[in-house]
Structure 1
Amino acid sequence: MVAAAAIEEGKPAAAWGAVLSMALCVAMLIASEFMPVSLLTPMAEGLRATEGQTGQAISISGLFAVTASLLITTVAGTLNRKWVMVAMTAVMLLSLVLVAAAPNFMVLMIGRALLGICIGGFWALATAVIMRLVAESDVPRALALMYGGQAIAAAFAAPIGSYLGGLFGWREVFWALTPIVAINLAWHVAALPSLPANRKQNFRAMFDLLKRPYFQRGLAACMLSWGSAFTMFTYLRPFLERVTGADVTTLSVLLLMLGCAGFIGTWAAGRFIKGNVAPFLKLPALVMGGATVGLLLLGSSVVAASLFMAIWGAMNTMFSVIWMTWISQNADDVPEAAGSLMVAAIQASILVGAMLGGFLLDGISIQATFIGSIVLALLAIALIGNGQRLLKPE
């Protein structure tokens, strides 16, 4: 019966190969976006630029991601979503080639800007595509599987990139990603079914969605939750160095542990997030905020720090699944518009959270940065309550 219903709605009954292809794309996007963090110094030296300049060139991807997430559904118009996703993956491949071969700083910036377009475009459409690949009851499990790619990249991209960069050079690390993305591109073509646009998208759909009170509250709560997370996470390294007293080896182990804990979160998301999503909405702010409190109070101990970082890392991968499931259940009539707004909101809140954390760090202390993160988490929890006010009316 489920298979028949799925076919009638134009949803392949078992498009798990396509979901896996999307998961690989997520892993490559996250790896491409954050790999330069571990290669910043050699990249700056190779391009005869300062580390500050190279860091700004890297951050430009975030700006283009926000812009692309807001524009993609309108620009794509009535194009088949399969070919839009294929195009986004092709843009990622072009970006990697430009970065790997960059003869100067300007070409690097162009490559990173193209990656930002791919990041914003992919994430804005990803949830809507997943909703069309599987039956409604399987959407949370499919989202968890897709975000498994995020856990893999978060756990291994930075340490492997740093190691290979030291052995072979930073350009070779980016060249090594290109055949994987090329395979992913071919996989998309083979596995994704035809996904005709349901209707012509425009900005009116976003504005109409923003007029819904429950969606306004949900978007604000999500932004507070993400802002809280990245106010802390962006400055986790200086905390571990100054408060925990971690050396380079200990730091690497702790960060790897945080990333690997994401696999637990991915498994838990696929197993437990079912039916009504309301009870889960406050979990990210509650658990990650609680872990931040634990680090603030007991972070001088390496053992305690590792425990709270593992808790934070596990919830970090559940975070996206929970809120994208909320979209799939509460903006199912305009999932692409909802995805665009959500991605833009997340990128903006990450940027603001990082700015707030940096201001508190430079102006007061690293402890003040963590306190700022906790305050944002408390505001998110208060706004969410039991989650019912964030659900669409029956």
Structure 2
Amino acid sequence: MAPAWGAVISMGLGVFGLVGAEFLPASLLTPIAAELGVTEGMAGQAVTATAAVALVTSLFITAATRHIDRRLVLLGLSVLLILSNLLVAIAPNLPLLLTGRILLGVALGGFWTLSAATMMRLVPERHVPKALSILFSGVSAATIFAAPVGSYLGAIAGWRTVFLAAAGLGALVLVVQLATLPSLPPRGLSRLRTMVEVLSRRAVGLAMAAILLVFTGHFAFFTYIRPFLETVTGAGVTAISGILLGFGIANLIGNYLGAFLLERSMRLTLALMPLVMGTLALALAGAGGNIAADAAMVALWGVAFGAVPVAWSTWITRAVPDEAESAGGLFVAAINFAIATGAAAGGFIFDASGVGNVFMASGIVLIAAAVMIVTGVETRAAARTA
């Protein structure tokens, strides 16, 4: 089997387009809320809606499409990405904007659920780690694109123009995938009971609980970072764009740091990252206000979080090698439930008592996650079955 690197790159582009679109509201929250006449906490529910639908999609997509060529499914999800961004760009009110974000949730949940298993079919086994690193580089690139570029372009041309640009990126992704993705006939007949069986494994259940805590803590922080930088740090649009750019670059560095640390200790890598993030959240909540110090802490957070998805994806491939697609669906569901929880809870806390308390809650949740990983998560590789 010759590796299909063009298809792998197209998958990385798909991740770039989807993740970039998912988190654009984090950098555009203030102008979106102002134009639509809602609070920033309500506007933050655009992230919640996407994550909630992605969660449901991740649980059902494998079973619902078990008879359909995976190439056609992936192309259809890219079409949804385009339609979602176009709908948000023209939305005159919050309900229509949320409708567009729901379409994105379907695309995001479906794509992520199928992506790891697809990587395993595009390249020989020895090249899977490299293929996955290309896939996750799309996440880091999207972090760099969505936050600072979205904030800066939004200030110049308006937030609607940012979503139109995201739709154009989605069209590019679709063209590249049409040209490179081979036919991928479905394998097996995955059903919901397979996911239940995988989740019932003790190692998987505890890991999913830890994943929920890590990603809930992160997205309570990340969704409301712009209001924090505006109100606590006192940063203007240019400074915010620069800080978010630093976060994105640091996130990319964190991908490689995660791979480096995983070669030495998986447990250390899984636990250290949320511990660092939680400590930074508490520090920002308690002592934020100096622009240089806050920028440095946000960048360090980016490094730590960059290692998180790489570490947990590697854990999945080692712990559940016999049911990679079902485990991938659970992984995506756990992350998106955490995103929805973090964004929603953060919005309520923000509206009730301010952004500082959002960061305080984030820090507590992340440190709890680190404790759970150290004391309960199994990191030894499971035996592979033929």
Work out whether the TM-score is over 0.5. yes
Deviates more, 1:63-72 or 1:298-307: 298-307
For residues 378 and 27 of structure 1, do their structure 2 counterparts lie closer, same or farther at Cα, with a shift above 3 Å needed? same
Q: Determine if the alignment matches structure 1 residue 295 to structure 2 residue 284.
A: yes
Scaled by the length of structure 1, what TM-score is found? 0.84
- Aligned residues with identical type, % of pairs: 40
Which of 83, 87, 91 matches 2:76? Answer: 87
Alignment of 1:127-138 (within 5 A): 127-138=116-127
Deviation of the 1:139 alpha carbon = 3.2
CA distance in 1, matches of 2:382, 2:17: 38
1:152 is aligned to 141
Which of 189, 199, 211 matches 1:200? Answer: 189
For residues 64 and 388 of structure 1, do their structure 2 counterparts lie closer, same or farther at Cα, with a shift above 3 Å needed? closer
Q: Determine if the alignment matches structure 1 residue 349 to structure 2 residue 338.
A: yes
What are the ranges of 5 or more consecutive residues in structure 2 without an aligned counterpart?
none
Alignment of 1:1-394 (within 5 A): 7=1, 13-39=2-28, 49-52=36-39, 56=45, 59-102=48-91, 107-274=96-263, 277-296=266-285, 298-361=287-350, 366-385=355-374, 389-391=378-380, 393-394=382-383
What are the ranges of 5 or more consecutive residues in structure 1 without an aligned counterpart?
1-6, 8-12
Deviation of the 1:276 alpha carbon = 7.0
The structure whose Rg is larger is 1
For residues 103 and 249 of structure 1, do their structure 2 counterparts lie closer, same or farther at Cα, with a shift above 3 Å needed? closer
Contact in 1 for aligned 2:63/2:190 (Cα 8 Å)? yes
CA distance in 2, matches of 1:194, 1:88: 16
Deviates more, 1:227-236 or 1:51-60: 51-60
What residue identity is the alignment partner of 1:299? Answer: G
Deviation of the 1:37 alpha carbon = 4.5
Contact in 1 for aligned 2:52/2:340 (Cα 8 Å)? no
Deviates more, 1:349-358 or 1:146-155: 349-358
Paired residue secondary structure (1:389): coil
Contact in 2 for aligned 1:127/1:328 (Cα 8 Å)? no
Contact in 2 for aligned 1:79/1:196 (Cα 8 Å)? yes
Contact in 2 for aligned 1:141/1:269 (Cα 8 Å)? no
CA distance in 2, matches of 1:167, 1:262: 25
Q: Deviations over 1:53-94 (max 9, x none)?
A: 765556422222111111101111132222211111122122
Contact in 2 for aligned 1:92/1:115 (Cα 8 Å)? yes
Deviation of the 1:232 alpha carbon = 2.8
Deviates more, 1:271-280 or 1:243-252: 271-280
Paired residue secondary structure (1:32): helix
For residues 216 and 255 of structure 1, do their structure 2 counterparts lie closer, same or farther at Cα, with a shift above 3 Å needed? same
